[in-house]
Chain A
Amino acid sequence: MERTLAETIREYTRIHLLENNGLLLAQCVAAVGWIGGTVPELTEEQGIIELPICDASGSGFACGAALAGRRPIFIVRYQGFMWYDCVSLINYAAKSKEIWNTPCPIFIRSIAMEGKGIGPVASSAQYSMFMRPPGLQVCAPMTPHEWGEAWQWFLDHDDPIYVSEHRLSYSTTEEASNTIRDDARITIIAISAGRINAKKSVKYLSEEGIACDLIHLMWLKPLKITDEMRASLSKTGRGVIVDSDFSIAGASRSIAYELMHDTGAKVYAFGLEDRSSGVSKSTENCTPSPQKIVSYVEELLRK
């Protein structure tokens, strides 16, 4: 039986703690089913450190543990908390190798969620802010294989990596494949939970007679513009980045900018709206829904 993403993370973590002398640092580890079933039920002696609720300190502890050679996994259970937790990740871990030639490798698991009344504090993804400072790799894996790829990158390098996870992906067993069609009129490049919704929207648009290419994007920084992206955008002449983070000064606009300069195609950014999320259906601010993506694409094609 295939493993879910949550089971995959749990197994990689178990091996890291029990066989690699690794550490895992997080708040409330045992809560909510051991962080969505992604953490093995081990003890402090086996490497699981329950952090106190002083968010800004926690990332410092992770840096120190990394300097001590423990290659810690540092988990932030809601990405919105990153505005507190980012302090030492950005100011220290990301700079340490460049300034002092002292690696500070941390596997930063930052978990996004949205909807279900989660509201303004903890919702949505926040990876864009980690793409700005130098020194951090940023990715948003959504499948077991992709997460394993991020983990292997971490083991092969001595740099910190920001791994944006999404709660919607934890039960996934399926891997993602891009959709490329000769008759595609637009290229959709999707990130994080945007990939789930974009996939649904592409199916609906196809039924409406609008062929789309769909490219799943996991590595956000450094951005690797693939031949497939170039070929698709050259063919369609227009694209849209569907994002689970805010568009303004965010990943989607940054990537759209890179792709436009690289290919000459018009590439748009479609992420969260520029407003706080509420808890009611009418005030939530989530990853664009399949219906919204369909409307957005239809509007672009009318231009």
Chain B
Amino acid sequence: MCRSNLLSLIPTGRAMAFRWFAGLVCLVFLVFLVGNRPLFAQEKNPYAGDAKIAKVGEYQFRLNCAFCHGLGARGGGRGPDLTRAKRHGSSDAEIFHNIHDGIAGTAMPAATNGGIGVGMSDEEIWQVVTYIRSLEVKAPAQPVGSAAHGKQLFNGAAGCSGCHMVEGKGGRLGPDLTSVGASRSTEYLVESLRNPSRRLAQGIFEPMKEFPQEYVSVSVVTADGTKLSGVVVNEDQFTLQMLDTREQLYLFEKEKLRSLEKRRESAMPAYDQKTLSDRDLQDLIAYLQTVGAQ
């Protein structure tokens, strides 16, 4: 029994020997925890290519993963489309580890009991891996459009780079799109261009906060009468962090504003057929998917 936590291991008086022993036990336990990956995880999928297991895995997926990744693994409100190349690795072993241990720096939790979920056994994780791999085969391999022309559009006529960054270049009024091609389904990308207000893009994701901030449009009138409009970077009940259309960051206390109006619509214009033909749309998406795959 490790009665004391690591902070209270400083030895005092006659309990010293016991405490050091307890500390050693704790340490061994911690090493065991930290080192559990090689102990429990396997590198080889015992069910690779098994269609029946893939079906079982589909149910496991619905139970454990669909909340973020959507039914059919084609990307939900939070999680990426998993039917195509995955940014954090596409091999069986990589997918297993991503599920088992979570992905640091993302909202992807560990599926085991240390994470947020109900906990999945290794067997269940392999079932899901098998399911995900079974989807991949069915998905179209190559983007249909011209990535090169898409890049030209992105940085030129379509005006995307004015607000969006790709690989460190571009604006920051809208979300960085470097990896969006890898993480979102084609349908999602089409919808984002044709009807960007239908589903707002997600911004900052804070640890333990249930829902991420969205790219909500905002207009304010400051105490001195200055009118500003732009997008919400973050906010709480009392404060607002926003970028105006020139990407100037403003930090406000809400009660000091003369007015504050938020709109659940994207600051991005809807690209209809006239502004962006179906052909150009395909090319843009091909560009984003090519960049994302790199």
Q: Do A and B bind each other?
A: no
